[in-house]
Amino acid sequence: MIPFSPPRMDQLIIDEVVATLKSGWITTGPRTKLFEKKLTDYCGNKKTLCLNSATAGLELILRWFGVQEGDEVILPAYTYSATANVIMHCGAKPVFVDVNSDFNISLPAIEKAITPKTKVIMPVDFGGLPCDYEKLNALVRRPEIKALFNASTAEQTQLGRILILADAAHSLGAEIAGKKSGSLTDVSVFSFHAVKNLSTAEGGAIALNLSDGFDNEEIYTKLCIKSLHGQNKDALAKTQKGNWKYDIVEAGYKMNMTDILAAIGLVELDRYEGETLPRRREIFDIYNQGLGKYAWAELPMMENLETGKISSYHLYPLKIKNINEEQRDEIMKHIFDQDVSVNVHFIPVPMMSYYKKLGYSIHDYPETYQQYSREISLPVFFDLSTLQAEKVIQSVVDAVEKVLNFQKN
């Protein structure tokens, strides 16, 4: 069986984890701080905080900004449910909007959805392709859009406009015109979950990049406290001689990254640009070449010369032209029958029973459904061999021809 995306766990990682275990410091400490610094250097943003997941990072920023009951947050219908769940946790209302043919959030749809209650927009860099941040950044700064904004916390007053919180779970290493994901807008959140491009088993990071007079160092310190019980000193600071006394300044969360996981992240980040991204790109090229000759295949966008966008090659979302959802499912079954693992990214959030019960309906997001019903994600991972990639292509071709009853010549 060709798996979908197993993590790259080799001797280098094992050695670094063992070194951490033996170092005497296993929770948040020197390795986490080093990982944060290296991520900041890589992404070119202002300050980075590592946490135990991207979901935690997204929620922490919504809480920091004071998002609460009565507020609205705009996000694409085409995302993983975590993007929406964190909005529910805060008691606010998720306002889903439709996407473009590249799976990313539609700007005209956002514009229509903005109301005086809108506090945050959460674009999702689907599959690793960054959203149109230049246009998004300009949109929230337009005088008539700013005039609609109702600030109700000190942070909201200081910003004076809608915050952009990028769900960059897929897009570490992606770029627009030479600027990396993390430095493209106000705040971006990466995921290091087991299936992501760079994995620490579980983990995430908040890339702070606020301007408008914000002190990102100061926000980092606040977020450290908020993510660790509301305690004014972390475990490492408390070990310093005589420094045992601490205070709780708010009812904080428990979201910190451990040094064991940061050790994995440090090894992976070191070889991310030199090994991980080039190999993923090669796999995309093999798929594009093998599938591009079929009229039924709609290949994913991985680069856009016009906008300077380059994907992080996280997902290879193949679309099959002119099929319905049942045919897609049937094609997937035939691919699995040939021992190849494929997936669908994503089942749109409005199709989930919890969100349906809240009154959301996929019928309100026709483009999202259009994409979803024809999408199949192919395996992409560092150790996928060229031979295996060719087997994947063959299994897709066989399955499509079987289901669509193409004549073999």
Ligand X SMILES: *Cc1c(COP(=O)(O)O)cnc(C)c1O
CB of 59 vs ligand X, minimal distance in Å: 9
By the rule CB under 6 A, 191 interacts with ligand X: yes
Size of site (CB under 6 A) for ligand X: 14
Considering only 48, 79, 216, 371, the residue that binds ligand X (CB under 6 A) is 79
Listing DSSP states for 110-164 in one string gives HHHH--TTEEEE--B-GGG----HHHHHHHHHSHHHHHH----SHHHHHH-SPEE
Instruction: Give me the least distance between CB of 110 and ligand X, in Å please.
Output: 17
Indicate the helix (H) or strand (E) that contains 400. helix 386-403
- How far apart are CB 89 and ligand X at their closest, in Å? 13
Question: Using the rule CB under 6 A, is 184 a contact of ligand X?
Answer: no
- 3-class SS of residue 213: coil
C-alpha dist (Å) from residue 59 to 65, 212, 286, 339: 10, 22, 38, 38
Going by C-alpha positions, the residue among 154, 114, 159, 162 that lies closest to residue 137 is 162
CB-wise, 169 or 389, nearer to ligand X? 169
Determine which residue in the list 173, 204, 300, 350 makes contact with ligand X, applying CB under 6 A. 204
Nearest CA-CA partner of 77 in 370, 322, 321? 370
**Under rule CB under 6 A, residue 120 binds ligand X:** no
Among residues 133, 59, 25, the alpha carbon closest in space to that of 49 is found at 59
DSSP letter for 181, please: T
Shortest distance, position 169 Cβ to ligand X, whole Å: 4
Q: Rounded CA gap, 35 and 43, in Å?
A: 12
Element (H, E) at 205: strand 204-208
Determine if 80 is a binding residue for ligand X (CB under 6 A): yes
CB of residue 21 to ligand X, shortest distance in Å: 23
Q: Pick the binder of ligand X from 2, 54, 73, 87 (CB under 6 A).
A: 54
Residue 143 CB burial class (10 angstroms; 0-12, 13-18, ≥19): exposed
The distance of closest approach from Cβ of residue 167 to ligand X in the complex, given in angstroms and rounded to an integer, is 5
Q: Which of 82, 105, 114, 286 binds ligand X (CB under 6 A)?
A: 82
Quick one: which segment of 151-159, 166-174, 240-248, 260-268 binds ligand X (CB under 6 A)? 166-174
Within 8 A by CB and 6+ apart from 70, the residues are 92, 117
The number of beta carbons lying within 10 Å of the beta carbon of residue 9 is: 16
Between residues 156 and 188, which has the closer beta carbon with respect to ligand X? 188
Name which position in 28, 48, 83, 216 contacts ligand X (CB under 6 A).
83
Look-up of token digits 């004076």: 160
Nearer of residues 64 and 80 to ligand X, judged by Cβ: 80
Q: Are 105 and 164 in contact (CB under 8 A)?
A: no
The residue length of the chain stands at 409
Contact flag: residue 193 with ligand X (CB under 6 A): yes
360 binds ligand X (CB under 6 A): no
Least Å distance between CB 75 and ligand X?
A: 10
- Considering only residues 167, 175, 234, 259, which one is a binding residue for ligand X as defined by CB under 6 A? 167
Residue partners of 292: CB distance under 8 A and separation at least 6: 299
Q: At 26, which amino acid appears? A: I
Any contact of residue 323 with ligand X (CB under 6 A)?
Answer: no
Cβ at position 192, least distance to ligand X in Å: 6
The smaller minimum CB distance to ligand X, of residues 55 and 373, is found at 55
**For ligand X, which stretch binds (CB under 6 A), given 32-40, 74-82, 113-121, 288-296?**
74-82
124 near ligand X, judged by CB under 6 A: yes
Strands in 211-349 per DSSP E: 297-298, 303-304, 309-310, 316-320
Minimum distance between the CB of residue 55 and ligand X, rounded to whole angstroms?
3
Looking at 5, 32, 48, 55, which residue binds ligand X (CB under 6 A)? 55
Binding residues for ligand X (CB under 6 A): 53-55, 79-80, 82-83, 124, 167, 169-170, 191, 193, 204
